[in-house]
Amino acid sequence: MRLALCRHPHIVQIENVFDEDNLPCMAMEYIEGEDLGKRITNKGALPEGEVLQYIRKIGEALILVHEKGLLHRDLKPSNIMMRAGKPEAVLIDFGLARQFISGAALQHTESVTHRANLRPKSSTIESKPEPLPLTFA
């Protein structure tokens, strides 16, 4: 559980790790506030100084994540929580995170098109995914 090693004020913290019906689970801290995407939608463009402050904080968090051997792989405004009443940005949603080894090429076994049991009709970009047939043993 590499994420548990990422103790940083701008990374969501793991409160507990446990198994439920033989499935690994983790409980994470609750962050009261709104995500950065909603804040931008509600308030419009943020002042440059505020944006630079958030970039710096999330950048520091990502440096630690990388030092601990992880790639977030889903960095976007909706995965950055803004703490209520504080000018603090917190990186959340490590659901797509994968192991990272500097200088090594890793092949991931799961692609975006297969995550939701979907596959592209053809290799063209215009194609829409179609469901894969489900087989049960």
Q: Mind telling me the catalytic residues?
A: 74
Sign of CA dihedral 32, 62, 48, 45: negative
**Which is nearest to 92 in space by CA: 39, 53, 35?**
35
Which 8-state DSSP code applies to residue 46?
A: P
Q: In what order do the strands lie in the sheet with 80-83?
A: 33-35, 80-83, 89-91
- Pair 131, 117: CB distance under 8 Å: yes
